[in-house]
């Protein structure tokens, strides 16, 4: 079976970028700068999901189901700068043929990855016919699961954590951008990783159901995969030290 791969990203405010864009006083703390950005966003749109160019990627998690079973892994800004993090992600996508799925990718994950990779020049040169080369973004092949389910160019608007619950996952409430920021700046990076991996697992659960609908997985195979996802999700919930949560 060709591996089925889902991913999720976790972001925090790009404090340096926000300072520069809004010409904020250098005496303001990072927390004050982030709060300023969140307050502006809430006043404009009623939520604290910052615009893509104001988000800094701090975690990228993969969940993969293959003939070898379930594997979950994460790339973290604890270990690498944002540019290196995104570059490693693009390399993993290239090894997978450029294909991975994510919930709501058109509205959030792809714009964030596109813009942040532009900032860090984390694009790749892809050889083309005729001996020429052209700039090709590594995230063009990412599939938006929500958009697939909606059957249109826009996503379904369905919260991932609610759909995952209908598919058998436990009850979960979304972490807001401010909550991710609070966890990250307080040194609780493990909680951010666990939350990001749970979201990737939820997207993988949806992808597996879709593959079951088209006959690529039978009922027995689907049951085995969902038991593995359920066990891994429960492990995260017990060990992360924070409540089980999905952002979407």
What's the CATH code of the domain at 164? 3.30.420
Q: What are the structure tokens assigned to 153, written together?
A: 């160019």
Q: Angle at the Cα of 183 (from 143 to 242), degrees rounded to 5?
A: 85
- Beta pairing partners, 127: 133
The verdict on residue 247 lying in a domain is no
In angstroms, the CA 91 to CA 248 distance is: 26
pLDDT, mean of residues 8-32: 96
- Which domain covers residue 140, as residue numbers? 4-239
Instruction: Enter the DSSP assignment of 118.
Output: H
The verdict on residue 156 lying in a domain is yes
DSSP H helical segments within 6-159, as ranges? 15-22, 30-45, 82-95, 109-119, 145-150
The verdict on residue 9 lying in a domain is yes
The verdict on residue 244 lying in a domain is no
Number of domain units in the chain: 1
Strands (DSSP E) found in 170-213: none
The verdict on residue 248 lying in a domain is no
Q: Is the pTM of this model over 0.95?
A: no
Is-contact 200 62, C-beta < 8 A? yes
pLDDT value for 80 = 87
The verdict on residue 13 lying in a domain is yes
Question: Judging by DSSP bridges, how do beta strands 133-136 and 55-66 pair with one another?
Answer: unpaired
The CA-to-CA distance between both ends of the chain, in Å, stands at 28
pLDDT of 134-164, one tens digit each? Answer: 456 778 889 999 999 888 777 778 999 899 9
Would you say residue 132 has pLDDT above 50? no
pLDDT value for 136 = 60
Would you say residue 22 has pLDDT above 90? yes
The verdict on residue 246 lying in a domain is no
pLDDT, mean of residues 217-232: 94
The verdict on residue 204 lying in a domain is yes
pLDDT of 87-101, one tens digit each? Answer: 899 888 888 777 899
């Amino acid at each position: 079976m060709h591996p089925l791969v889902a991913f999720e990203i976790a972001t925090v405010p790009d404090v340096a970028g926000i300072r520069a864009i809004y010409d904020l006083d250098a005496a303001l703390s990072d927390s004050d700068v982030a709060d300023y950005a969140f307050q502006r966003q809430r006043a404009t749109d009623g939520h604290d999901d910052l615009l893509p160019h104001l988000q800094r990627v701090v975690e990228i998690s993969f969940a993969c189901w293959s003939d070898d079973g379930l594997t979950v892994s994460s790339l973290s800004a604890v270990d690498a700068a944002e540019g290196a993090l995104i570059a490693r992600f693009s390399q993993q996508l290239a090894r997978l043929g450029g294909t991975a799925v994510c919930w709501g990718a058109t509205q959030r994950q792809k714009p964030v990855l596109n813009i942040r990779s532009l900032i860090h020049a984390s694009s790749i040169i892809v050889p083309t016919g005729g001996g020429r080369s052209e700039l090709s973004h590594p995230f063009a092949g990412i599939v938006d699961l929500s958009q697939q389910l909606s059957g249109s160019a826009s996503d379904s608007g369905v919260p991932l954590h609610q759909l995952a619950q209908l598919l058998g996952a436990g009850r979960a409430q979304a972490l807001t951008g401010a909550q991710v920021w609070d966890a990250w700046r307080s040194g609780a990076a493990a909680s951010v990783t666990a939350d990001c991996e749970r979201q990737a697992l939820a997207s993988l659960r949806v992808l597996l159901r879709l593959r079951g609908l088209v006959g690529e997985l039978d009922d027995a195979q689907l049951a085995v995969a969902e038991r593995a996802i359920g066990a891994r999700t429960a492990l995260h919930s017990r060990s992360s030290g924070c409540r089980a949560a999905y952002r979407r």
